[in-house]
Structure 1
Amino acid sequence: MATSNPSERKLKHGFSFLIKSRGMFDISDVLFVGNDWSVSQLKVVLLGGRNSGKSCVGNLILGKEEFVTKERTSCSRRLGVVAGRWITVVDTPGWWCDFSAGDTSKLVKREIVSSVSLCPPGPHVFLIVVKASSAFSERRCRAVEEHVDLLGDGVWGHCLVVFTCADRFLHKGAEECVERGGAALRRLTEKCGRRSHSVVLNDPTDGAALLLRIQELMSENGNRAFEMEESISRAAAEEKRAVEERAHLRLIGMKRHRALLRDRLRPITNIRIVLLGAKGSGKTSALNTILSRECRRRVGRTAQCQVGEVVKFGRQLTVVDTPGWWMNYFSDESSHFDQREIVLGPSLCPPGPHVFLLTIRVDRAFTETHRRSVQEHVELISERIWSRVILLFTFGDWLGATTTEQYIESEGQPLQWLVDRCSNRYHVLNSRTKGEGFQVRELIGKIEETMSGGSSSWHYEIEMKVLQEVERRMRREAESVRKRTLKKEQQRRRARARLGEWIYPSLNQVFVQSF
């Protein structure tokens, strides 16, 4: 570590005096002096998993509420003057704490790389934010390493681990956090040159102390900013430009197609819908949003098909929710019960559904494995189903200012194949938005357009051969259950009879001997 100069020692002495004499102080009380702070502007990038407290750390540094504390897909940059010095803070999108970089959306990974370009020529410090109260496993450590490594070689020399805590009474020092965190956390701090710091998020005193810790790191690096490899930054910029161009073309094509379908719209009073999707994809939340149902309990897994009905905007809506599949399981790996329920779903809204809503989470990566899983499970019903499928993107609040088209083009070929298979029919649903009437009204409009542009049949014709095969299988299963139950009952009767033969003679013998 670089030796502190007299000005820096003077600053630290004054910092300690303020804490002792006043108990707490405002961040503006710190006056940055000395050669180590001669650069014109401090630039900081925040990295970390979801709900780690990144945005709150940014607010702590700037001394005011600048960042909105909610997850999003794009970087957010804020500038502020602290003690007469300009500070730039870039908050990056968070990743799922236990997910590898391969499971993170490409949109998020590109934004992490692009964060460097938001503070040219480069940031002085990367703060890796870790929630002090959360267990830090080996898997979580690998997730941090993989996401930070996206920035290229040399980044770890500019990294500082920051532990966050919301309560002063639960606050622990950085060294104690590292020791309690175990081997994985010690390895992470080792990669950062054993640099770590701990803050209480609602205490301005800790904001000033964090800036002093940042000063030390800058001194170690000779005030040099991080320089990303030109090939990495160029590739990210070119990809972003290409995504925006493709997204614009997709949006234009979608609007033209919808305009043609609107000319053929016919009045509809009854709409039948079947929901399909993986476990945790938001199917049941979508059902509750469409039906305007309040769900105060935690939404669990749909084990069997459920049917809901409501009259909305002058239409009678019938919605069938089907069991989900594991998103990385192919159809032959799903249970026979789940397969059967998926196939039976359309028969619960006779004579057949008008559309199928296929739910996809926008806040997770969509890989080729997920694409194949979706295709195989959807085609359990029929290969002819695609002309009536609308993609329903869930957890739409996560997209923020990112358009649906930008998300589709960013995620890559697997998702684009699925969108194209559905003839560019998609809708974004945000189940957290209060007053969801506009979202549902827009969805109903897209459903009606799909019905107008479909085949000669007004609704999906259930394939009787598939349904009859499922019913035959159900009868065989029912017969098998009946035989198994009968066999168990016979075994119980024989067991009772043998038990009686053993107990009653013994009792009689005891009774005779007693006389």
Structure 2
Amino acid sequence: MMASFGSSPQFGVQFISEFRIVLLGNKGAGKTSLANMILCRETSSPKSTAQCTRIRGVAAGRLVTLVDSPGWWKNFLLHETPEFQKQELVLSVAYCQPGPHAVLLVIRVDASYTDKNKRAAQQHMELLGKDVWKHTVVVFTYGDRLQDQAVEQHVSSEGETFLWWLVGKCGNRYHILNIDRYNGTQVKELLEMIEDMVAGNGGSWFKMDQKCLCDVKDIRRVAEEKAEKSRKMVQEHRNLHEGQDCSLSNIRIVLLGFRRSGKSSVRNNIFGRENINLKRTSQCVKTQSEVAGKVITVLDTPGWWKTLEARDTAELDKQEILRSTCLCPPGPHALLLTLRLDMKFRNEEMKSLEEHVGLLGEQAWNHTILLFTHGDLLCDLTVEQYIEGEGNDLKLLAAKCRNRYHVLNNKNLLDGGQVTELFKKVEEMVAENQGRYYEMHPRTLKEVRRKWRLMEKKSKMKVKAKHRRTISSVKGAGQYLTELSLVLLGYGEAGKTSASNTILGATDFGIKRTSRCVKKKGYVEGRLLIVIDTPGWWKRLPIEETPQFTKQEILQSVFLTPPGPVSFLLVIRLDSSFQEEEKRAVKDHLNLFGDTVWDRTMVLFTCGDWLGDRSIELYIESEGEALKWILEQCGNRFHILSNKHQRSSTQVSELLTKIEEMLAENKACHSGMWDLKQKTERNLENIQSNERGIQRQTDDVDSDDDDVFTTDVQYNII
């Protein structure tokens, strides 16, 4: 039904008898609550919108058609959003033909907003075309959370005006609403603002490029046809094994997958438990219980980072994945490979996944079922449509698993049918494998067990030795200092900036990448702390490939705290591997300060919560000789920091005590500082001299080019 227009003497604009509105925004912005509030609908707690939903009702005496659309993850750029969700955003316009009068970009006013959030919003909005901004109003939700603060004041202070940039794109149109309770005045003002906008657009509504809309519809239609063929093929394959006796009285399962893919939620779902203990799995967790008349054993394993190669995963995590199959003897019937339906699956994820599953050997794929989590997001879409829509990488993965897959809705623990159907698929796979379960090659199994026992033995010996040193050390041997100056060094993304914030107990350093030295001060336990954060180098690249500017900044850190820093903290992430290339990069960058730098350097391990119940000594043993060499250079001085627990003063207090003990061992606070500064100054002069030489050569080339050009011009004139 098309809206009718007429004159409105009160506002001097065109009067819209029926509004058509599309709601867009990131997950958790409050789109569904806003829709309910506008139409004064009483509902229970709103669920996540999986597909476009059209709602009709009356608001402020006007007929209103609202289209609620799926939200994108706030920190995910467009290429990280699944295809079916992007298609739904485009199709939202088709739900209110001939087109919406307004697109409402919904943003929570009480949540932080970064540059990445802004870029994500821009990219998802512009799926509808660049002209969408002419028809968009920014709606800030949860306005009551601001209390007495004006929205303009809040937005100006939020995220370096990223929000104002979005408001500016919308012609400075914005409205603030309290969606917790109905407010007729706020709704009436919003509709009036939309009327003004429509009048400003010459009375027209948003008209999307019809070719783009038709293309998306065609893609969706083709995907549906292919998906239906795939579904029938899979069902026919299952029917072939239907008559086989494959019932199992006990089922052994190993869960594998990326971090945050939902493995722990799957474990709770299988056993019908509430979503408790959903912390990151740092070690294999074995759970056994009777479900649907069967004894079910589930091994949950540590996840890996989604796009990282296996070589970047910490050795401890890889060892845990290998051990998992040994912890449910004689071997698991199924490896459940968990994937989230609400995240894009790309070539990087495919490569990472193949390498990590490949740790178990190529035969592992014969026993693997793809397990899709967050099944509630599919809504009316079939899993086959999702697989078809995501492209070749996901289809290739499904083929590697012989098109064995299952969908779980982890939010619906009462649906026991989805779990029993999963068990049925496991039994069918076992029958297809002639009753065989997964078995690691005996030689590989023997090596895994030998390596693990050796690591445990050596790490326990080191723990005992450390305990003896602690007891024999003189209490209070450290020299208490009223002022400490610290320089943090390390590769990019090691956690230097977060560690700096944790040490000072504040967020003075922000969260952005450090491109220049940043110095901050603060009082911690009666001491004046001067902390210098430095630019990071590339983790595995040789020093020759570090930009000269970065090396200059690193060296300049020594001269920012006269007479010089009392300690260098070498920051290393615990949750990633440390290999020979990292060792060389660390060695060469620290040697810029001279050999004496190691005497006042301590290794600061970040991501301390990743360890779980495991000892740091076990981690060091598992990583091997490269990390041991670095620690030996630092006199085996190290400390663990969890940047997730910045309010924990104990970990910072212990760090300062260790630094004072190190200084006591070195006899004097500034012992050897003169040599270190001399070496640093010489290297800094060399780098600057090289830079000037390169600049002169560039200038000479430019000058020669100018001469040639001038000569050519003069010749032509002659």
TM-score above 0.5: yes
Q: Is the 8 A contact 2:144 2:178 kept in 1?
A: yes
Secondary structure class of the residue paired with 1:415: helix
Distance in structure 2 (CA, Å) of the matches to 1:172 and 1:131: 15
Q: Is the 8 A contact 1:279 1:326 kept in 2?
A: yes
Q: What CA deviation, in whole Å up to 9, does each residue of 1:106-129 have, x standing for no partner?
A: 111111111112222221211100
**Quick check: 1:183 aligned with 2:161?**
yes
The structural deviation recorded for 1:338 is: 0.5
**Quick check: 1:219 aligned with 2:199?**
yes
Q: Which residue of 1 aligns with 2:10?
A: 10
Farther-moved stretch of structure 1 (419-428 vs 459-468)? 459-468
Distance in structure 1 (CA, Å) of the matches to 2:44 and 2:203: 26
**Quick check: 1:350 aligned with 2:329?**
yes
Q: Is the 8 A contact 1:282 1:361 kept in 2?
A: yes
Distance in structure 2 (CA, Å) of the matches to 1:412 and 1:134: 34
CA separation of 1:153/1:419 partners in 2, compared to 1, >3 Å: closer, same or farther?
same
Farther-moved stretch of structure 1 (341-350 vs 260-269)? 260-269
Q: Which residue of 2 aligns with 1:423?
A: 402
Farther-moved stretch of structure 1 (310-319 vs 382-391)? 310-319
Q: What CA deviation, in whole Å up to 9, does each residue of 1:228-272 have, x standing for no partner?
A: 223321221111111111111111112111111111133321211
Residue 242 (structure 1) aligned to one of 213, 219, 222: 222
The structural deviation recorded for 1:195 is: 0.8
Q: Which residue of 2 aligns with 1:391?
A: 370
Q: Which residue of 2 aligns with 1:502?
A: none
**Quick check: 1:301 aligned with 2:280?**
yes
Q: Which residue of 2 aligns with 1:405?
A: 384
Farther-moved stretch of structure 1 (279-288 vs 203-212)? 203-212
The structural deviation recorded for 1:203 is: 2.3
Q: Which residue of 1 aligns with 2:420?
A: 441
Q: Is the 8 A contact 1:160 1:196 kept in 2?
A: yes
Residue 308 (structure 2) aligned to one of 320, 325, 329: 329
Q: Which residue of 2 aligns with 1:471?
A: 449
Distance in structure 2 (CA, Å) of the matches to 1:53 and 1:242: 33
Letter of the structure 1 residue corresponding to residue 48 of structure 2: E
CA separation of 1:67/1:316 partners in 2, compared to 1, >3 Å: closer, same or farther?
closer
CA separation of 1:45/1:495 partners in 2, compared to 1, >3 Å: closer, same or farther?
closer
Residue 350 (structure 2) aligned to one of 343, 357, 371: 371
Residue 160 (structure 1) aligned to one of 133, 137, 159: 137
Q: Which residue of 2 aligns with 1:120?
A: 97
Q: Which residue of 1 aligns with 2:272?
A: 292
Q: Is the 8 A contact 1:124 1:223 kept in 2?
A: no
Secondary structure class of the residue paired with 2:137: strand
Q: Which residue of 1 aligns with 2:459?
A: 481
Distance in structure 1 (CA, Å) of the matches to 2:330 and 2:236: 32
Q: Which residue of 2 aligns with 1:107?
A: 84
Letter of the structure 2 residue corresponding to residue 292 of structure 1: G
Q: Which residue of 2 aligns with 1:509?
A: none
Equivalences for residues 37-52 of structure 1 within 5 A: 37=15, 41-52=18-29
Secondary structure class of the residue paired with 2:64: strand
Which structure ranks higher in relative contact order (CA pairs < 8 Å, sequence separation ≥ 6)? Answer: 1
**Quick check: 1:143 aligned with 2:120?**
yes
CA separation of 1:177/1:123 partners in 2, compared to 1, >3 Å: closer, same or farther?
farther
Equivalences for residues 271-282 of structure 1 within 5 A: 271-282=251-262
Q: Is the 8 A contact 2:269 2:413 kept in 1?
A: no
Q: Is the 8 A contact 1:174 1:196 kept in 2?
A: no
The structural deviation recorded for 1:41 is: 3.7
**Quick check: 1:462 aligned with 2:440?**
yes
Q: Percent identity?
A: 37
Q: What CA deviation, in whole Å up to 9, does each residue of 1:398-447 have, x standing for no partner?
A: 22222211221122222111111111111111122142321211111111
**Quick check: 1:76 aligned with 2:53?**
yes
Q: Is the 8 A contact 1:59 1:67 kept in 2?
A: no
Q: Which residue of 1 aligns with 2:503?
A: none
TM (normalized to structure 1)? Answer: 0.85
Distance in structure 2 (CA, Å) of the matches to 1:360 and 1:423: 16
Question: What number of residue pairs does the alignment pair up?
Answer: 468
CA separation of 1:157/1:130 partners in 2, compared to 1, >3 Å: closer, same or farther?
same
Q: What CA deviation, in whole Å up to 9, does each residue of 1:481-512 have, x standing for no partner?
A: 3664576578679967xx9xxxxxxxxxxxxx
Distance in structure 2 (CA, Å) of the matches to 1:436 and 1:103: 30
Q: Which residue of 2 aligns with 1:229?
A: 209
TM (normalized to structure 2)? Answer: 0.62
Q: Which residue of 1 aligns with 2:111?
A: 134
Distance in structure 2 (CA, Å) of the matches to 1:378 and 1:397: 27
Letter of the structure 1 residue corresponding to residue 405 of structure 2: Y
Q: Which residue of 1 aligns with 2:663?
A: none
Farther-moved stretch of structure 1 (444-453 vs 480-489)? 480-489
Letter of the structure 2 residue corresponding to residue 426 of structure 1: Y
Q: Which residue of 2 aligns with 1:512?
A: none
Q: Which residue of 2 aligns with 1:194?
A: 172
Secondary structure class of the residue paired with 1:36: strand
Q: Is the 8 A contact 2:67 2:92 kept in 1?
A: yes
**Quick check: 1:256 aligned with 2:236?**
yes
The structural deviation recorded for 1:292 is: 2.6
Distance in structure 1 (CA, Å) of the matches to 2:470 and 2:189: 74
Q: Is the 8 A contact 1:125 1:160 kept in 2?
A: yes
**Quick check: 1:98 aligned with 2:96?**
no
The structural deviation recorded for 1:7 is: 6.2
Equivalences for residues 488-499 of structure 1 within 5 A: none
Distance in structure 2 (CA, Å) of the matches to 1:370 and 1:62: 42
Consecutive unaligned residues in structure 2, runs of 5 or more: 1-5, 478-718
Distance in structure 1 (CA, Å) of the matches to 2:462 and 2:155: 57
Q: Is the 8 A contact 1:58 1:67 kept in 2?
A: no
The structural deviation recorded for 1:133 is: 0.4
